[in-house]
Amino acid sequence: MSQPKLHIVTGKGGVGKTRCSILLSERLGIESLVGKKSDLERENNSLGVSGKIFLEISNRELLEALLEEIIPFKKIADWASASSLLQNIVFLAPQLDQLLLLYELLKKSTKESILYDGPSTGNFKALLDAAPTAQRMFRSGKLKTFADQILKEMTRICVWNISLPENSALHESQEISDYLKEFQPQIKERRVLNRCHQKPQIEGFDWEQPWRDFAFTRPERELERTRKISYEFRALEGDRRL
């Protein structure tokens, strides 16, 4: 039986990561998704998917999880984590929020696979860089323990690199691929081309195989709705050639 995995969805901003997160969770049979709850619910309703659990992890929850590891009394840890001043002070430490988030995501995925509707390229790389950074900064202590544990479990992470059939999105996806190969080779990467029904105008990329592992097309009803919105938008700009 295979180990539960932490699936992380990333890519350039605007490529449809949240939509692909819902579709991937359906394809992979994953019930629990982590991310911005309102965005996940909106996309889920748009696609007509049911049976999903959406979780959103706040900085307070991350701080609470840290304090519970340090302070043996849960009530005191809960009380301390509610302090906005303490939250601001603690998260001044470089990449501490990303370290605690990745630790919490891996912990949540120990019993069942979960999918994280992750951030765009820069913040995604910061998330994965957090553990090596903490390992260099701390010689001992709880944060060093967290970093060591994360690095041991990196093989349980699968990254879904989302792109669109256009140059800037593909170049940024290639940046993610290059980063993973150089700095996180133990992490499995799967590449997804979203909206592959569009005729691609791409220079220097084989947008079919082997670049993509999977591709999503949009339902016809969604395409019709998008065309209508596009026409209305252009009409507002004064384009009368519709």
Q: Given the DSSP bridges, would you call strands 32-34 and 53-55 parallel, antiparallel or unpaired? A: parallel
Q: How confident is the model at residue 218, as a pLDDT?
A: 56
The three-state secondary structure class of 82 is coil
Angle at the Cα of 148 (from 143 to 152), degrees rounded to 5? 145
Residue with tokens 């059939």: 165
C-beta contacts of 68-74 below 8 A and 24+ residues apart: 69/142, 70/142
In the chain, what are the domains?
Answer: 6-214 (3.40.50.300)
| pLDDT score recorded for residue 78 | 54
Q: Tell if the pTM clears 0.85, that is, is over it.
A: no
Give pLDDT, residue 183.
Answer: 96
CA pair distance 117, 23, nearest whole angstrom:
11
pLDDT in the model for residue 131: 94
pLDDT tens digit at each of 242 positions of the chain: 578 999 999 999 998 899 889 988 988 899 999 999 999 999 999 888 889 999 999 887 887 777 777 655 455 445 444 555 454 545 556 688 899 999 999 999 999 999 999 999 999 999 999 999 988 888 777 788 889 999 999 999 999 999 887 788 888 988 999 999 999 999 999 888 886 544 433 344 444 444 455 566 655 555 555 444 443 433 333 333 32
- pLDDT value, residue 139: 78
Question: What stretch of H or E contains 216?
Answer: strand 214-216
